[in-house]
Chains A and B, each alone.
Chain A
Amino acid sequence: MPLNKPSRRLVIAGAAAFMLPISGRALTPADAQSYVQQVVDVFFGILASGASEATILTRFEREFTGYTDVDVIARTVLGPPYRSLNNRQKRDFTSAFGRYLARKYGRQMMQYGNAEITITRAQDAGRKGILVSTQVRNRGQSPFLLQWQVSDGSGQTKLINLIIEGISLLTTERGEIRNLLDARGGDVSALTAYLSTQ
């Protein structure tokens, strides 16, 4: 039948159109770019506010944990040991880790509080989200590349990694957390206790 093929296509197209709203609109490079612009404005607004270091870090921690998917970062950085934790241990580890991460990176970013930050590129990395590149220029220093990996894998648009001149937060912290855990004989509770003092 001549109508057979087109109608089958029509059915598939109709089904696909019907399914679209369910899967949701994928995050586009433009979305990720405006998200990063917002994050940069908020983060560096705090870092350059001129308040005391303690105040800056407290405020930075709140915003950082809001814009970052700390859950997924904590899970992937701890790796296999995460699976054997109970829900309460998971929650405690994640919250201590988020605090540690925010304070560590907040302190490091503080010296770039007054830097000029320009978005230079947004690359679609498929399932891995969008990689937004920014150029950071501090007075009297060569500019460097700071990249923000953004994903809506959790259902919400969030930061999932920061890459500074090729040095990835996920890779670096996975190494660090593994070393910290090894130094505590693999005891995640001891690690959690340590992280919450940082």
Chain B
Amino acid sequence: MNTKNKIFNWLIRAGLVLSLGACAGAQNLAPDEIYDPFESTNRSIHAFNKLVDTAVLSPVSEVYGTVVPEELRTVVDNTARNFGQPNAFINHILQGNGDGASDTLARFLINSTIGLAGLFDPAAEMGIFDAPTDFGETLAVWGVAEGPYLELPIMGPSTVRGTIGIAVDLAIDPLNYLITREQAYYLLALRGVNLVGKRNAYDDLINVLLYESADSYAAQRLSYMQNKRFAVQGETAIDDLEDPYAFE
């Protein structure tokens, strides 16, 4: 099959980049250290992404926030998130994370039924919260280093490891094998709308990073890397805390 061939092609190439990335980024970095050998390319992509945000995403999300009532925005968010659960479940299993896997499965079962095909999130009301993850985090659990920092067009901040994760997630998402081509288009559209919704929900945080910081590229890179390392560790390591009184 043509698409399958493409996917395998991708995987082989991804495998090559992965081994390169693993070698290149194997060193242990301090919390505020970031390996960014492609900075000039990344900065060009950042400028492009910022332009897209200024010209399209931000104004569209503002309209979305005004026109679409909050209840409906929540429904869109819930539904898009529910469709992401099967893939998160697979990755929790691959990571050997039993709690994450069982929470994700429980959420999917509860929200798909009582939550009317994922429109609502009764699981959260029961105290079972979303535990999002992806193949990039699976690779991290397997001991693959994050590799160089990358800013991707439209998708934003990532690393070599994260980018490979995105490609693999496309291939292993069980949903892709269960839905028809037409349904896949609807899902893509839903995810697109939800991207606009997320831009609207995190408007203040994104604006601080992109438009109020001295160097939006550096600010976004630092926030992304701190958050990603935290997600991979699953907690804030006491050893990584600072002692500000140590600086005289």
Contact = CB atoms under 8 A, between A and B. Distances in A.
Contacts of B208: 104, 107-108
A160 B241 CA distance: 11
Contacts of B52: none
B201 interface: yes
B244 A160 contact: yes
Interface string B216-246: 0011001100111111010010100111110
A174 B129 contact: no
Contacts of A125: 238, 241
B244 A166 contact: no
B241 A131 contact: yes
A79 interface: yes
B155 interface: no
Interface in A65-110: 69, 72-73, 75-76, 79, 104, 107-108, 110
Interface residues of A, number: 43
B230 A79 contact: no
Contact of B32 (A107, A108, A166, A174): A174
A171 B129 contact: no
B214 interface: yes
B188 interface: no
Interface residues of B, number: 34
B241 A79 contact: no
Contacts of A111: 204
A166 B204 contact: no
Contact of B236 (A108, A151, A163, A172): A163
B231 A131 contact: no
B244 A176 contact: no
Nearest to A198: B212
A142 B213 contact: no
Contacts of B245: 72, 127, 151, 153-154, 160
B70 A108 contact: no
A170 to B, nearest CB: 5
Contacts of A167: 223, 226-227, 230
Interface of B: 31-32, 70, 74, 77, 124, 129-130, 201, 204-205, 208, 213-215, 218-219, 222-223, 226-231, 233, 236, 238, 241-245, 247
Interface of A: 69, 72-73, 75-76, 79, 104, 107-108, 110-111, 123, 125, 127-129, 131, 140-143, 147, 149, 151, 153-154, 160-161, 163, 165-168, 170-172, 174-176, 179-180, 182-183
18 contacts: A69-B244, A79-B247, A104-B208, A108-B204, A128-B238, A140-B77, A142-B130, A147-B236, A149-B241, A151-B245, A161-B241, A166-B231, A166-B233, A168-B226, A171-B222, A171-B226, A179-B219, A183-B215
Given A73-B244, A176-B214, A179-B214, 17 more contacts: A108-B208, A111-B204, A123-B238, A125-B241, A127-B245, A131-B241, A140-B77, A149-B241, A153-B244, A161-B242, A165-B230, A166-B227, A166-B228, A166-B229, A166-B233, A167-B223, A183-B215
